[in-house]
Amino acid sequence: MTANPTENDLRVIAEQVWSSYLDVDGSKPLLPVPAAKVVVDVTGSVSVTGAWRGHVLVGCSDGASRNAAAALLGIELDEVTDDDVADALGELANIIGGNVKSLLPEPCALSLPHVHVEGEAGRYPASTEVCKLNGTWLEESVTVSVLESTADFAEASAT
């Protein structure tokens, strides 16, 4: 067990989640791409607390988030609502977060998922990026990242 997940760990987890939930027939895999090509419109996140503290984020372009909602919920793309997108991104963050949590020192717990539109919320100033996967799915941007909290919460809560 390592203190932090690696980029390879994150790639394996994301590929397994995509193939299990979004690409069950194997025809639409999640493919790695250079960071410069990633567009994030919607982000789902879960926080990790306990022996390790941080966040797991799943960000997508609007198109990828709508395709994910359609695939996860078994509905047609033109039927997807903003609530469906929020449910899908939250669920992806929860599933991937649970897999990342299994690599972390115990005890750790996951928060409920939080979904936001980029630019409105979701900044994590007291954290540093541990690993990140930039990808494309159905020619749309996807990014999965793990952030470790840098704040000393014991010290902060004592003041």
Per-residue pLDDT for the chain (159 aa), expressed as one digit of tens each?
447 899 999 999 999 999 999 987 888 888 888 766 778 899 999 999 999 999 999 999 999 999 999 999 999 999 999 999 999 999 999 999 999 999 999 999 999 999 988 654 567 778 899 999 999 999 899 999 999 998 765 444 443
Q: What is the pTM of this model?
A: 0.88
Residue 91: the pLDDT is 96
Phi, psi for 13 (deg, rounded to 5): -60, -50
Which CATH fold topology does 7-158 show?
Chemotaxis protein chec (3.40.1550)
Rounded CA gap, 5 and 53, in Å?
13
Burial 108-134 (b: 16+ CB within 10 A, else e): bebeebbbbbeeeebebeebeebbbbb
Residue 122: the pLDDT is 60
Residue 25: the pLDDT is 83
CA 84 centroid distance within chain: 16
Where are the domains positioned within the chain?
Answer: 7-158
